[in-house]
Amino acid sequence: MAKIFIETSRLLLREIIAEDVEMIYLLDSNAKVMKYLGVKPVTTKAESEKTIKNIRKQYKENGIGRWAVIEKESNLLIGWSGLKVLTEPINGFKNVYEIGYRFLPEYWGKGYATEAGKAVLDYGFNLMNLDIIYACADIKNGDSCRILKDKLGFAEKGTFVDDVDNAICQWYELTKEKYSKN
């Protein structure tokens, strides 16, 4: 049984397990989902199995990683959200906590990224006692940038060129102090 970390009014956030391979494949093989991520959609379930193994390795090595987002009403995995430790440098930052999320397109525009994001921030700041959480998004991904800035309260801290695909990305940060005032 997968460990549940967070429950919101509409969502469960739980560890990603090997049995999630079908839904992770649906997510990571979708061109719309992957459009702004700097990597091409996967083409085999073996690639999704590797992704799951890497996430589970993060749980073991860092005590945290992305979590499956389950819609309570349907009991379906609709995406993932959560914190991870940046073990490889991004924008000059390493060994810091970054929030991220990814959802199937049919669940976009329903407030799930915001709902999951707020729950993850609460977990990070209040249970893990983090002082700062970072995020980044391709500047062309207006929806994600709006969620981070307007819905979750992140502050823009400049742009950088992503090493993977040369995309211009916005770097964000949110401090515990600013979060607790919202």
Distance separating alpha carbons of residues 87 and 119, to the nearest angstrom = 23
Domain encompassing residue 126: 4-181
Distance separating alpha carbons of residues 178 and 181, to the nearest angstrom = 5
Beta bridge partners of 13: 6, 69
pLDDT at 47: 97
pLDDT at 162: 87
Question: Going by DSSP bridges, is the β-strand pair 168-175/155-161 parallel, antiparallel, or unpaired?
Answer: antiparallel
Tell me, what DSSP letter sits at residue 107?
G
The CATH number of whichever domain residue 116 belongs to comes to 3.40.630.30
Return the sign of the alpha-carbon dihedral for residues 101, 107, 110, 112.
Answer: negative
Distance separating alpha carbons of residues 87 and 171, to the nearest angstrom = 17
Tens digit of pLDDT at every position of the chain (182 positions): 789 999 999 999 999 999 999 999 999 999 999 999 888 999 999 999 999 999 999 999 999 999 999 999 999 999 999 999 999 999 999 999 999 999 999 999 999 999 999 999 999 999 999 999 999 999 999 999 999 999 999 999 999 998 777 889 999 999 999 998 76
Domain count, the chain: 1
Residue with structure tokens 């970054």? 98
Instruction: Please give the angle made by the CA atoms of 118, 124 and 127, to the nearest 5 degrees.
Output: 115
